[in-house]
Amino acid sequence: MSARTSWDEYFMEIARQVASRATCDRKHVGAVLVRDRIILSTGYNGSIRGMPHCDEVGHLMENGHCVATVHAEANAVLQAARTGVRIEGSALYTTASPCWPCFKLVANAGILRIVYGEFYRDPRIFDVAARLDIELVSLEQATGPQAETAGPGVTPG
């Protein structure tokens, strides 16, 4: 008899599926907002609504990053806003830890828990999350790069 998957693993697997819709081929990221084990909203990184996609027309690069896309976390928050879904007190499942601008957006939206699949470039989130009592949970392997860069307040998955 096989072990039943945890809720964190379940929602992260859904976030990975959402990431498969991403339209910026530099990095596919998916995000799922959940409260009480119910999916509230999803998002993936892609172009501004109505604009051509990076994987069709190329990237708009600044400082080594494509800035044509709206990030997955922001799109999940925006989708909830467009449909009138309250996300305060929810959890965010994202395939990569939020960049600094997305972290600020998520924190101000009242999201209390962030579960991420891989560490993505900005360690500032660890200190600020601890100060704001936002729980960060890594589902990355203990031997991965996040294990070396994680700050206080990170809960291993």
Structure tokens given for 94 = 């994202």
The mean pLDDT value for 133-153 works out to 62
Tokens of 48: 């501004």
Of 56, 73, 88, 140, the active-site residue reads: 73
The band of 149, judged by pLDDT with boundaries at 50, 70 and 90, is: very low
Q: What is the average per-residue pLDDT within 79-106?
A: 97
Picking from 61-70, 81-90, 123-132, which range would have the lowest pLDDT averaged per residue? 61-70
Tens of pLDDT along 45-63?
999 899 888 888 888 888 8
Query: 3-state DSSP call for residue 113?
Result: strand
Annotated active-site residue 88? The verdict is: no
The per-residue pLDDT for 110 is 98
- Report whether 45 contacts 69 (CB < 8 A): yes
| Band of residue 21 on the pLDDT scale cut at 50, 70, 90 | very high
Does residue 40 contact residue 68 with C-beta atoms inside 8 Å?
Answer: no
pLDDT at 155: 54
SS3 letters for 26-57? CCCCEEEEEECCEEEEEEECEECCCCCCHHHH
Helix axes 124-132, 100-108, angle to 10 degrees: 10
Residue pair 145/120 in contact by the 8 Å Cβ criterion = no
pLDDT tens sequence across 98-141: 999 999 999 999 999 999 999 988 899 999 999 999 999 999 85
Phi then psi for residue 32, to 5 deg, are -135, 130
Percentage of the chain exceeding pLDDT 90: 67
